[in-house]
Structure 1
Amino acid sequence: MNETNTARGIASHYRRVDVESTAVSTADGSEDTRGPANGDRVLTIRDLSVEIRRGERVVRPVSGVNLALNRGETLGIVGETGSGKSMTGFAIMGMLPAGGRVTGGSIDLGGKELVGLPAAQYRAIRGNDVAMVFQDSMTALNPTRRIGEQVAEPVRLHQGASKRAARGRAEEMLALVGLPRPAERLDDYPHQLSGGMRQRVMIAMALVCEPRVVIADEPTTALDVTIQAEILELLDDLKSRLGMSMILITHDMGVIARHADRVGVMYGGRVAETGPTPVLFSRTRHRYTHALLSSIPSLTHDRSEELFSIPGAPPDLTVAHVGCPFAPRCDAATDRCREEQPALSTEEDGHAHACWHPASGPTARVRARFAASTAILPEREAAPRLRVVDLRREYPAGSAGLFGRRRTVKAVSGVSFEVAAGETFGLVGESGCGKSSLGRMLVALDRPTSGEVIFDGEPVTRMSARALGARRTQLQMMFQDSNASLDPRMRIGTILREPLAIQGVGTRAQRTARARELLQDVGLPAGVMERYPHELSGGQRQRVGLARALALDPKVLVADEPVSALDVSIRSQVLNLMRRIQLERGLSSVVISHDLAVVRYLADRVGVMYLGKLVETGTTEEVYGAAAHPYTAGLLAAVPEADPRTRRPRLSARVRGELPSPIDPPSGCRFRTRCALATALCAETEPPLEPLAGTHRVACHHPLQQKRSAELTTR
């Protein structure tokens, strides 16, 4: 079924929405009583307050929030974890956690008051008039039920459709959200789909009843930059086609700049600033909004300067606060800020802020410069610290059917590169490209199928278990999920002493002293030693993970997605810390990430991986300044910039479609199935990694530099 027919089929089942008028009609032309009561206003939140009782503790995640949403509009709600943005969405949905309740205010949905609504009436509205796209598709989808059943369920519950009709609508909606082969996917289970495909299923399930308002709560946080761009564009497109309004909840200011019409910045459970997106970004007033924007690593950031980071931590919402909640972290705070809570004051163009000392345009922030690398780093040695030679890793994936041939997952397929002493090498690429598998082999946590990892001239892959145990102390890893990698039953002091005890380093007193020294190095107080991991924030746990990796003074550190789960403000703190320690200690580092801005800030050289192979390598300036491979250019084009004036890249410049299966990769160039420049040569012959200029190398039959040169020659 093509896209036009799909849209026509959807229209035959759903009511038609005229976004140019306030009237809403059904398919048979009769009036729909669910239309908004006052003009274009669809949702109005007035003085909303929420509390959650946890035993004797009372958390107040939302306090006096005022927001409005108009027909066909996208309202972005942005802020750090704990700012109250997600809880505001849950309050609208009537899905507050156990012990949670709305203690004051109003939620008006199209003239219908939702606060105090009986549970049965709320169930009739939830999924039909207002729906939610959740952050984690794997936990939001039922793993025991097929995709078709889950997408069809709202249609059967709210519209009384038969099982057959609901299944037909589910297929149409899966096609509308761009899921490949939707008829086949109806009988799949969630675990059989990729992350991007599961997110599309969640969007289909939320929109199948064509709700008036859709709330997207961090819908792309766990996705690659390419899939993130596709999902957000899909939401924009469906919102326009189906005449919906959207609330986009995120901590990514780049996403807000590109996709939101208006913005509400939340801090400490309150709205700190709100207004039209272009106005708010160009004339930022609240000091917190300005600090958020200053904390974002960008593709143009000067690597000799530290990232700005917001000092301190968000407020404890179990305690009643006096004054501006941002005052303890604000460099412009006065006694008035600490004693009196500012109210939202509205300026022209609907721009409002709650700040006693608003910023006036771009504020110059003093950023500490890193000391010159030549004064800190040891001289580069002739031999590299780490060499990777034709490394390959394949995993068994079972047989294709009862009598089928045995299959293998080709995770890493012939990767070679070098890392000098004191150098940081960045690995970027989509999930499933083999980055993490490669990282595990670098620190000898996994054995390669073939190829070698050579550390200080010694082949690690050939060492005996005993010899490897001694050398592994020099090869350490900083894991992505600090919560899962730290033992919840051990105190932080014990966690930091453990690697020293295993290696027989020092007495207990010396190990304790070393643990305190490590905490000081990563910016944590000694009192943290007596606490458990769950008592620390995400940023603090990530610092502990870094301290543990440094405990044995390694020469090589592999950091696997070290800041992907952190807020932008905490992320900048951890990135500055990692870069400072790397410079001071002369560490050789391999940073693995799908965030290209993070890799640009940390790495001296970059390798771009696609489906188990390196497709482009070079210095940060070479790769980011003049991307040669279409895949690299597509990754860079998908990065959302925190500036609404930035022009969106052409669709042809972006990476489209799903990553092929590493069990059966395409012939020739593995990227050809998603490349706009692919020719017959690309299908027949695999391009080698060849030099372009300087240290810049690319594996492409049609590198972009050649294409640009040819264009200039013909003009």
Structure 2
Amino acid sequence: MLTIRDLTVEIRRGDRLVRPVTGVSLSVARGETLGIVGETGSGKSMTGLAVMGMLPAGGRVTGGSIEFDGRELVGLAPEAYRGIRGNDIAMVFQDSLTSLNPTRRIGEQIAEPYRLHRGGSRAAALKAAEEMLALVGIPRPSERLSDYPHQLSGGMRQRVMIAMALMCEPKLVIADEPTTALDVTIQAEILELLDGLKRQLGMSMILVTHDMGVVARYADRVGVMYAGRLVETGPTAQLFSDTRHQYTHALLSSIPSLEQDRDIELFSIPGSPPDPAEQPPGCRFAPRCSAASARCREEYPPTLEASADGHGFACWNPVIAKTITVRQRAFARPTEAAEEAATGAGAEEPRLRVVDVRREHPVSGFRLTGKRRTVKAVDGVSFEVSAGETFGLVGESGCGKSSLGRMLVALDAPTSGEVRLDGARVSGLKPRELGARRTQLQMMFQDSSAALDPKMRIGQILREPLAIQGIGTQAERTATARELLDSVGLGAGILDRYPYELSGGQRQRIGLARSLALDPRVLVADEPVSALDVSIRSQVLNLMRRLQIERGLSSVVISHDLSVVRYLSDRVGVMYLGKLVEVGSTDEVYGSAAHPYTAGLLSAVPVADPEAAAQPAGERITGELPSPLDPPSGCRFRTRCPLATERCATEEPAMRAVTATHGVACHFPLQELAASAAAPRSGAEPQSEPALGGAR
């Protein structure tokens, strides 16, 4: 269906010439899914844009061939390309919120490619759009046609993007990071949907992603890109079981798993990818490769040639064993200062205590009763965090994790309930009343680009908290900034640089350094690595874990990535629609989940192993998250729970003990169901049996 030979792309911006794709050759057969993986800047998306004829301003194909269904696309006239784009080749873009026009209704945007390529009336196009919305699993499609993008959830917007791409039943779909910003449950739904529609419509697909677990499950073949070049390719099972290129091996070794030993550092690739404008003579991965030789730095490996089984690689010193033991260091023991912080004054009290915290947001409009409508973002949450402990919060977007995190650091005041630090109340107080306690609560924000002032240099950003609190002289603050940079693995040379001059991983380290500037007792990290590549993510996770041990920090880690929370946390709380549904030690929650929602989250985690991915998954969560404006009665999870009964619709479950350290808010904990199923049957009928499907 698609054959790319020796493709080279150049982008000229003024005097700067960037070559994001160099000498790439690959093919996609009819009905096949090709996964393209690699770090940010490796050329994955640019290859897809070259196929679509949508290179950015200043970009052009300077070499090679792109042949689609027997037709050469390089050099094709713009008018001819417009007849192919959206009709025979379609693309699902990464960010649905910026890809959809916010001023146009959903129905009009989906119908547009149909009218352009197939003709017909507006009514016929809208009817086809409604049928496509139903095909991609959007409930009440006729009503959604008149919605605007902001009225839909992230998962539904991504489904709209898929519907737009499939309106003309294209022969090839390019899915560019289609699930990067989505929760693990929505990600699983979207990928299953794409895979099912591909088979149903007989399409070919290119799946661009940096998630090795995604390609392990859904790709027939894999191409690994680094710094604009294809470094390894082959059938998925073959590439994962017999990895040959050192970069591919390093990527797979960097992935945190649910079985990761928390006392051992994650493997991470040192350094960062090269600047696309640089064209070193040798292998571009050589500066970061532990197996690099002088030849690797002087001469690029020969053109990638596939063997008889379709597996090819470009490496002078390939991995020669199917299994290589990666050297990983154990974390150091806590320092004396950290132990004192954990056992000193206030140790009798939990470091952080959250008591029945609620947060309500008024929205426009009134109910029929005349009362103002409110969203209960957080609804009666209670937990404790001991000194030196890390507490993880997991759940889907919209469950209240970030709202709770802002209350923990006193950025927002709870509607009711209280937050206490070492026994002293910090919630609901005015800034002057908080006093020194305010500095002991710090937050590491999700988006480092938005959290760092673009007009301030790094040195100013790190000195600012000290200056506001009146701590030290200018020279002492600069010295502290240098120490902070050293603690997060960055040199003092970036003190005079601006945030835009740093990579995403470096900016995230700066955000962590700034949050530690005032030596806090509690750090709240809100999705700290969600936007990072797998290799950079492991570096930041190791850093957070090491600093937590060295400083005796109490931390609350908020994430929808269960492997991240598993690695960082001592205890875990699972949130759903503003409530905690399960709390326990990390080993208990992950090893023996008691709530069906927790079990569904764990079953949706992609595994970077084709054999494991091919095994039947557990009961997955389906359907959209209910609106927090009007949550279901009784158990809020019942509308998506396969075990729900009438009792779940009328009676809200209270938190109950599974073990001394493990609690669950469920009428039918999974352990009890398993125990009753294993018990010998007697003549008596059971008092209550969960019914599949559940009461709505």
TM-score range, shorter chain: over 0.9
Residue 617 of structure 1: aligned partner: 583
Alignment of 1:505-654 (within 5 A): 505-648=471-614, 650=616, 653-654=619-620
State whether structure 2 residue 283 is matched by structure 1 residue 324. Answer: yes
**What TM-score results when the alignment is normalised by the length of structure 1?**
0.93
Contact (CA 8 Å) 1:399, 1:405: kept in 2 or not? no
Distance of 1:478 and 1:269 partners within structure 2: 32
Shift of 1:470: 2.6
Q: 1:649–1:418: structure 2 CA closer, same or farther, 3 Å change rule?
A: farther
Residue 33 of structure 2: aligned partner: 74
Distance of 1:226 and 1:190 partners within structure 2: 21
Distance of 2:5 and 2:454 partners within structure 1: 41
Contact (CA 8 Å) 1:308, 1:572: kept in 2 or not? yes
Alignment of 1:667-706 (within 5 A): 667-706=633-672
Q: What one-letter code is carried by the residue in structure 2 that aligns with 1:363?
A: I
Residue 363 of structure 1: aligned partner: 324
Alignment of 1:66-465 (within 5 A): 66-343=25-302, 344-360=304-320, 361-372=322-333, 377-378=339-340, 379-380=342-343, 381-400=347-366, 405-465=371-431
Q: Give the secondary-structure state (helix, strand or coil) at the position aligned to 1:552.
A: coil
Q: What one-letter code is carried by the residue in structure 1 that aligns with 2:224?
A: V
Shift of 1:372: 4.0
Distance of 2:102 and 2:429 partners within structure 1: 42
Distance of 1:277 and 1:390 partners within structure 2: 49
- 1:386-406 Cα deviation digits (max 9, x unpaired): 000000000001115899642
Distance of 1:481 and 1:649 partners within structure 2: 35
Contact (CA 8 Å) 1:61, 1:87: kept in 2 or not? yes
Tell me the matched-pair count. Answer: 674
Contact (CA 8 Å) 2:7, 2:61: kept in 1 or not? yes
After superposing on structure 2, the runs of 4+ consecutive aligned residues of structure 1 that deviate more than 3 Å are 372-380, 400-405, 647-652
Contact (CA 8 Å) 2:335, 2:551: kept in 1 or not? no
Q: What one-letter code is carried by the residue in structure 1 that aligns with 2:474?
A: R
Q: 1:599–1:496: structure 2 CA closer, same or farther, 3 Å change rule?
A: same
Shift of 1:711: 1.0
Distance of 1:366 and 1:614 partners within structure 2: 38
Structure 1 unpaired stretches of 5+: 1-41
Q: What one-letter code is carried by the residue in structure 1 that aligns with 2:442?
A: Q
Contact (CA 8 Å) 1:377, 1:583: kept in 2 or not? no
Contact (CA 8 Å) 2:603, 2:618: kept in 1 or not? no
Shift of 1:161: 1.9
Q: What one-letter code is carried by the residue in structure 2 that aligns with 1:244?
A: M
Distance of 1:552 and 1:708 partners within structure 2: 49
**What TM-score results when the alignment is normalised by the length of structure 2?**
0.95
Contact (CA 8 Å) 1:72, 1:246: kept in 2 or not? yes
Shift of 1:467: 2.2
Please point out which of 55, 58, 74 is paired with 2:14.
55
Q: 1:403–1:700: structure 2 CA closer, same or farther, 3 Å change rule?
A: closer
Distance of 1:474 and 1:434 partners within structure 2: 23
- 1:45-100 Cα deviation digits (max 9, x unpaired): 00000000011001100000001001111000000000000000000000000000
Structure 2 unpaired stretches of 5+: 682-696
Q: What one-letter code is carried by the residue in structure 2 that aligns with 1:371?
A: A
Residue 454 of structure 2: aligned partner: 488
Shift of 1:357: 0.8
- 1:391-432 Cα deviation digits (max 9, x unpaired): 000000111589964210110000000000000000000000
Distance of 1:464 and 1:349 partners within structure 2: 68
Contact (CA 8 Å) 2:175, 2:205: kept in 1 or not? yes
Q: What one-letter code is carried by the residue in structure 1 that aligns with 2:325?
A: A
Q: 1:581–1:342: structure 2 CA closer, same or farther, 3 Å change rule?
A: same
Distance of 2:73 and 2:612 partners within structure 1: 38
Shift of 1:315: 1.2
- 1:563-597 Cα deviation digits (max 9, x unpaired): 00000000000000000000000000000000000
Distance of 2:46 and 2:86 partners within structure 1: 18
Distance of 2:28 and 2:439 partners within structure 1: 56
- 1:407-459 Cα deviation digits (max 9, x unpaired): 10110000000000000000000000000000000000000000000101101
Shift of 1:114: 0.4
Q: Give the secondary-structure state (helix, strand or coil) at the position aligned to 1:164.
A: helix
Q: Give the secondary-structure state (helix, strand or coil) at the position aligned to 1:157.
A: helix
Q: What one-letter code is carried by the residue in structure 2 that aligns with 1:258?
A: R
Shift of 1:362: 1.9
Q: What one-letter code is carried by the residue in structure 1 that aligns with 2:401?
A: K
Distance of 1:667 and 1:215 partners within structure 2: 41
Distance of 2:430 and 2:12 partners within structure 1: 56
Greater Cα offset, 647-656 or 175-184: 647-656
Q: What one-letter code is carried by the residue in structure 2 that aligns with 1:141?
A: L
State whether structure 2 residue 23 is matched by structure 1 residue 64. Answer: yes
Distance of 2:70 and 2:307 partners within structure 1: 27
Distance of 1:276 and 1:666 partners within structure 2: 46
